[in-house]
Amino acid sequence: MKVKFTKKRNLNKCYFLFLVTILMAFPLYGQSHKPINQDSINQSKLYNEFRVDFDKYEKQHGHYIQTNNVKMHYLEWGNPKNPTLIWIHGTYSNGYELYEIIDDLVKMNLHVIAIDYYGHGFTDIPKKDVSIYHVVDDIKFLMDKKNIKQAIIGGWSRGGTISSAFYDAYPQAVQALILEDGGSVAWDFNEKAANIVKSIEEANQYYASKKPLIFDSEFDAYWYIYNNWGVKGKQDKKLKKEIFTSYARIKKNNQNKFEINPGAEELTGENSAEENISIIYTPFTSKTAFGASTHQLNPKIIYRNLDKPMLIFDPINSQDWFDFKAENEKLTNEHKPYITHKVYEKTWHGVKDERPKDVLNDLKLFLKSNSIIK
């Protein structure tokens, strides 16, 4: 299924490997044929039952704002008089990724906003070419409309990169930064020009066999996510979070079929071998600015004069897709008064999903030590 990059080289293709693993783990599941077993029956029942709860939750916490670029969907919790945390989700996720921990964040006396950026959740893809800096402008637009002078800006994976772009564009509007395995290190920091020939070969092989993920029913799409995106085995609030996130991911197309985050691959530049190579090696030739701007961002430059508190959640494991530890240590040493670097051993990319209690404790300590909350 996936292109087999070596460990050293999958650092260079971190986003490509991440997307390959998540989106195409078992291409045949893209068809409507799913095994009929007790697990699928149980999941189908839960998927239908939770819909009522989701609709109520969305009605209570979901909002839209028309920015200069898009009608942006966002979720909001807590007292607006409290310090504001604006959260930016990762690729192929959405604002509902905070569902499991949101009650604890509100108990910290935080006012929390979680946006959906383009092609994710309930925010459409603008017709014009957009970059991650357009998302940054959307967030600032939202802050201005709500009269939020400063906010804690945080995000997971690509959301961390957008957080860094926000600091680059509007440093005066940042109270603190929370970067969960993204945004503190350039995605292609270890890339070498000598790799390009082999990279092209690998990308061509992968995309030649890539099959579209199109499903006959909404539950078929969720069943694919359940089996291939690390959902199977989760229970209670963890499972409900995954189902809520899936409601916001899965869309019906014009042929009455169902897709997961339709259009997002084209937006990010991971829809073809040519685009995937261009966003990494020749970003100015990319057809879309969104993926290219992700890979062009250089935190070393953005944070050269860092003067705001930053918390880095850095998961590491034996098969680390994003081996940023050494680079994060360098950045931390350069800005010791400001950066708190938390390393989570034997932990996958999604730290708050695997270790929510540790993340909440570390976040609370960080915010208290910087006098942001009491």
What mean pLDDT do residues 54-64 have?
Answer: 98
Q: Are 155 and 179 in contact (CB under 8 A)?
A: yes
Half-sphere exposure at residue 349, Cβ-oriented, CA atoms within 13 angstroms: 23
What is the pLDDT of the chain when averaged over all its residues?
91
Instruction: Summarize pLDDT for 315-353 with one digit per residue, the tens.
Output: 999 877 789 999 999 999 999 999 999 999 999 999 999
Q: Which two tokens stand for residue 169?
A: 């564009």
- Full DSSP string of 92-104: T--GGGGTTTHHH
Assessment of whether the complete model's pTM goes beyond 0.95: no
Taking a C-beta distance cutoff of 8 angstroms, is the pair 218, 224 a contact?
no
For every residue of 299-336, DSSP letters joined together read HHHHTTT--S-EEEEEEE-TT-SS--HHHHHHHHHHTT
Task: Give the pLDDT of residue 35.
Answer: 55
**Domain annotation for the chain: domains and CATH numbers:** 7-369 (3.40.50.1820)
Whether the predicted pLDDT of 1 surpasses 70: no
Angle, helices 289-296 vs 158-169, to 10°: value is 80
Closest CA to 12 of 285, 281, 206: 281
Work out the average pLDDT over 64-68: 98
Residue 14 has pLDDT above 60, yes or no: no
* pLDDT tens per residue across span 273-309: 999 889 988 888 888 899 999 999 999 999 999 999 9
Q: Give the per-residue pLDDT at 280.
A: 87
CA distance 164 to 295: 12
Q: Cβ(313)–Cβ(359) under 8 Å? A: yes
Q: Which two tokens stand for residue 138?
A: 């959307």
Nearest Cα to Cα of residue 306 among 344, 333, 342? 333
| Rounded distance between C-alpha atoms, residue 142 and residue 220, angstroms | 35
